[in-house]
Structure 1
Amino acid sequence: MTSLVAYDDSDQEDEEEGRGLSPLATSPKDNMWRSHRDLVSLGTKFHQPLPSRHDKEYEIGQHAGAGDVGRTLSEPPREMNPTPSDIVESSSASRPHLPRHLSDCMKEPPASPLKRHVAPPPGIRPYIPKRQRTVPAAEGVEPTPSGADVTPDPSTVSRLLSEVSERVRPYLGPRPGPRGAELPRRVRLRLQGHQGPVNTVQWCPVPQFSHLLLSASMDKTVMIWDGVESGRCLKVCSSHSGAVRDACWLPCGRRLLTGSFDNTAMLTDVETGQPIAKVGNQFKVMCLAIQPDNPEVFLCGGYSAEVKAWDSRTCKVERVFRAGIQQTLAILFLTGGKEFVTSSDSVSRDSAERTLIAWDFQTTAKVSSQIYHERYTCPSLALHPQEDSFVAQTNGNYMALFSSLRPYRMNKRRRYEGHKVEGYAVRCDFSPDGSVVATGSSTGSVHFYDQRSARTLQTLHAHQQACVGVSLHPVLPAVAATSDWGGEIKTWQ
């Protein structure tokens, strides 16, 4: 019965506290346990351990507090939420014999002085909160760009343009024995940078600089890449105001020749990216060719019945080659540089007259116009590096082999078939030893043929769009570069 009454009194106390009333009508036992609860909360706050209930001194303090109940009831009522100082004062008054360590924990801690800044040890970077790290960006200070956005160091670019690549260096010396048919198998690098179709890709012909890859695009730019190691774009040349249709290296490897739909052809320095010479034609330039005996002279052909020979030193026309055609698709100097072949879009009803025309460079006279007798145009030409022959890419979905000596007869027993052209200017190329012929395809694949037997050696599914450019590396075995109509460039090994 006694415990039941005490339980009812405790419920009544809670109701009075909820109504904001002061709990005056309490028993001595309730006051004692309330003081103990306050001490527990204070001990938790100041992280000091409280003595056990079996401690003798703690029991004495409890009995002392129970004997002063009358004085506690006679005091005026305090606030419902007493401050820690009030609790300490009332508790110390009711229990004057508390242990020393317990009384110390009940004292209010003094205000801590400001912490002195201590410099971190050398070699250790102090921690900076996230809010402070984001403050400069909010104030308009640009953050440090990532590695992909950092502009390449000019000294690094100059070194890559002038020094020999470590990957190419072991292959610069003579290699004993025949190389054989070494073909690329997998993708090594993907070069992204052009925003339009890439018409041509070409490795630098100088062995020491053969890690450089040239690309010309319809987005009006010409780019030079490190196509062997890093895949970095080393130089961007954007001097043309129209689509760049053709580009090639000069034999020295330090200059580029580019032709554009803005009716100009331009000679550009590789290291500075600045134009050295610029000539203006009255037609859109589609194809270029450098005279082997005199690299300062080059040919320009395009949307015209004429092919012009320019001297880059004087920027003047030296010779003009006229034919009854609408446009010139490709130009190729033959062995020795005294004669060259042009490909046109002209076809006749019975035979393809003037499709391939052989010219004498000195006299500007036609040597032969009855070379190819099939009704297909030839969008590109490639010269064999060692033999007196060349191949012509035809819109009949095959490559034809011709002799580069008069009368330039076609080899009717040897055709390289299996790829498709379908109106694209698909280019072809020979391996350095001439044993392999490579070509792109309108299906996006790259085809490799044996030059002597014309059988297919390998087919790579390289691109999603039409593969229009292919170039085999002049030094490294089984390395090639390809480009497609969507602007993608890949290197293979």
Structure 2
Amino acid sequence: MSGYAKGAGRVPTGFAAETFISEHTFREGHRAIEGNAAGNTKKRKREKKGDSSIVSGEGAYKGPWAKFEEERPDAASDDEFGDDVEVEIIYEEDEIEANPAPASKKLAGTDYHDTEVEGETSEFVGSRQYDYQGRTYMHVPNDLDIKLTGDRGDAKNFIPKKLVHTYKYHTKAITQVRFFPGSGHLLLSASADSKIALWDTYHQRELLRTYSGHTKSVNDIDFNPSGTQFVSASYDRFMKLWDTETGKCLNKFTTGKTPHVVRINPSKPHEFLAGMSDKKIMQYDTRSGEMVQEYDHHLGPVNTITYCDENRRFITTSDDKSLRAWEYGIPVPIKFIAEPYMFSMVRSAPHPTGKYVAFQSSDNQITVYSSTDKFRQNRKKSYRGHNVAGYAPDVAISPDGQFISSGDSGGYVCFWDWKTCKMWHKIEASDSPVLAVQWHPRETSKVISGDLNGVLKYWD
């Protein structure tokens, strides 16, 4: 062989020498080897690609997905194995296509199960379902020293000081609490243990009914104005409409995305809005079960929905650190606020006057925006002194509009004066973060708090 060798030396597999070979010599040798290999092996033939105008059936277009043709070894190889031996060649690709294994119903290592399969159940667990007149717990009691119906008047609110009652049923974090609209004689709680519970706020203060049907954490609940129905949203991606009295699930809604917040329209109780994890706000009609409008302008998951201007408009906030105001039913924002100093606002509460909305901002403060035409931030109103980082504690305003309260990641319930923005009081409510806080709509100083351990505490 022409050329030269240099740098000869030992290698682990023997003796090697670096050699120079001309291009021509190399090509000749390469062709000779390839020719031998071609003579020994037979190239597998593919089926015809088919006609691109035929979709299915004989001669259908297969293109690059055409299979290899099944073939028998030729006569030469028959002789090699003996005349009577027939060798069948099985191609791995064809084997896989011919017998596709059915996909596993359950994903290994996960406990996902089909939400459709699991039905909704509800159980009455109170001591008495009916009173002597055959009325259920839905009936507003009138044997109390407080009037729970009619106009509230100008009753003043006070800061609660002592613990009155502890409700225990939930095993995981309380995500939301709601008093029965108007009277407040019942209390609804939602939890991360996927359960919803209805409690009595007077008499024995017992657990009355449980609602099961969600398979993951329930993250929001909302009553209709009459309290006969409520809607729940969960991480199992379903929103469900329940009958408060019977516990029957009346309807289910899903877009395949997680709902973060649900709000029934007080002026149109058969419609509700849902803020979703895919940046959209969906408007549903509970009578038809249809989605009737979609508001798609946010750039991140939607956190809050607050009705204003006699429910003709609503304000939404999102993880995109912006605030948008909308006309109800029109999917184009009428106001968009996004300032460089803004943080995402995770919970909201409208002021009883209807002029303002308070937002829990992620930078450990509560900010206030006007809910009239301008939708401007009220720079004078900022409530600080609590810690919310990493959590989304609820914010609530007393029925007379005098106090604003919030949960705190240190286990406190904090109260501020609405006018002066000074913190009035802190209640040490738990040894874990307090996530849910609501004022009783009728009482002067009753507040409910729910913590990360699933304990509800009633304060006076």
Q: 1:376 aligns with which of 315, 336, 343?
A: 343
Answer yes or no: is the 8 Å Cα contact 1:255–1:269 preserved in 2.
yes
Q: Distance in 2 between matches of 1:152 and 1:181?
A: 32
Q: Any idea what the Cα deviations from partners look like across 1:449-475, whole Å, max 9, x if unmatched?
A: 111111112111111100010000000
The gaps in structure 1 that reach 5 residues or longer are: 1-149, 348-354
Q: Which is further off, 226-235 or 458-467? A: 226-235
Amino acid at match of 1:331: I
Equivalent residue number for residue 253 of structure 1: 227
Equivalent residue number for residue 415 of structure 2: 448
Q: Any idea what the Cα deviations from partners look like across 1:240-268, whole Å, max 9, x if unmatched?
A: 12211100111011111101111111111
Q: 1:223 to 1:413 in 2, by over 3 A?
A: same
Normalising by structure 1, what TM-score?
0.65
Q: 1:413 to 1:169 in 2, by over 3 A?
A: closer
Q: Do residues 155 (structure 1) and 130 (structure 2) align?
A: yes
Q: 1:174 to 1:326 in 2, by over 3 A?
A: closer
Alignment of 1:161-200 (within 5 A): 161-164=138-141, 166-167=143-144, 169-170=146-147, 172=149, 178-200=154-176
Q: Distance in 2 between matches of 1:204 and 1:375?
A: 34
Greater strand content: 2
Alignment of 1:268-283 (within 5 A): 268-283=242-257
Normalising by structure 2, what TM-score?
0.69
Alignment of 1:394-473 (within 5 A): 394-473=361-440
Give the drift of 1:338: 1.7
Q: Any idea what the Cα deviations from partners look like across 1:187-210, whole Å, max 9, x if unmatched?
A: 111000001110011111122xx1
Amino acid at match of 1:154: Q
Give the drift of 1:229: 3.1
Structure 1 SS opposite 2:156: coil
Q: 1:174 to 1:303 in 2, by over 3 A?
A: closer
Amino acid at match of 2:249: P
Q: Do residues 312 (structure 1) and 289 (structure 2) align?
A: no
Alignment of 1:288-327 (within 5 A): 288-327=262-301
Answer yes or no: is the 8 Å Cα contact 1:223–1:237 preserved in 2.
yes
The gaps in structure 2 that reach 5 residues or longer are: 1-124
Amino acid at match of 1:428: V
Q: 1:285 to 1:175 in 2, by over 3 A?
A: closer
Larger Cα-atom Rg: 1
Answer yes or no: is the 8 Å Cα contact 1:158–1:271 preserved in 2.
no
Answer yes or no: is the 8 Å Cα contact 1:259–1:288 preserved in 2.
yes
Greater helix content: 1
Give the drift of 1:284: 0.8
Q: Distance in 1 between matches of 2:230 and 2:145?
A: 21
Answer yes or no: is the 8 Å Cα contact 1:297–1:310 preserved in 2.
yes
Answer yes or no: is the 8 Å Cα contact 2:176–2:435 preserved in 1.
yes
Q: Distance in 1 between matches of 2:339 and 2:444?
A: 33
Answer yes or no: is the 8 Å Cα contact 2:182–2:442 preserved in 1.
no
Q: 1:366 to 1:173 in 2, by over 3 A?
A: closer
Structure 2 SS opposite 1:179: coil
Amino acid at match of 2:179: W
Q: 1:313 to 1:344 in 2, by over 3 A?
A: same
Q: 2:178 aligns with which of 202, 205, 211?
A: 202
Q: Any idea what the Cα deviations from partners look like across 1:266-319, whole Å, max 9, x if unmatched?
A: 111111111111112220111011112211000111211211100000000100
Q: 1:485 to 1:403 in 2, by over 3 A?
A: same
Answer yes or no: is the 8 Å Cα contact 1:356–1:371 preserved in 2.
yes
RMSD: 1.9
Equivalent residue number for residue 362 of structure 1: 329
Using the aligned pairs only, state the percent identity: 25
Give the drift of 1:445: 0.4
Answer yes or no: is the 8 Å Cα contact 2:152–2:442 preserved in 1.
no
Structure 2 SS opposite 1:167: coil
Q: 1:212 to 1:171 in 2, by over 3 A?
A: closer
Q: Any idea what the Cα deviations from partners look like across 1:151-171, whole Å, max 9, x if unmatched?
A: 633335963332415336435
Amino acid at match of 1:155: Y
Q: Do residues 392 (structure 1) and 356 (structure 2) align?
A: no
Amino acid at match of 1:366: P
Give the drift of 1:435: 1.1
Q: Any idea what the Cα deviations from partners look like across 1:43-89, whole Å, max 9, x if unmatched?
A: xxxxxxxxxxxxxxxxxxxxxxxxxxxxxxxxxxxxxxxxxxxxxxx
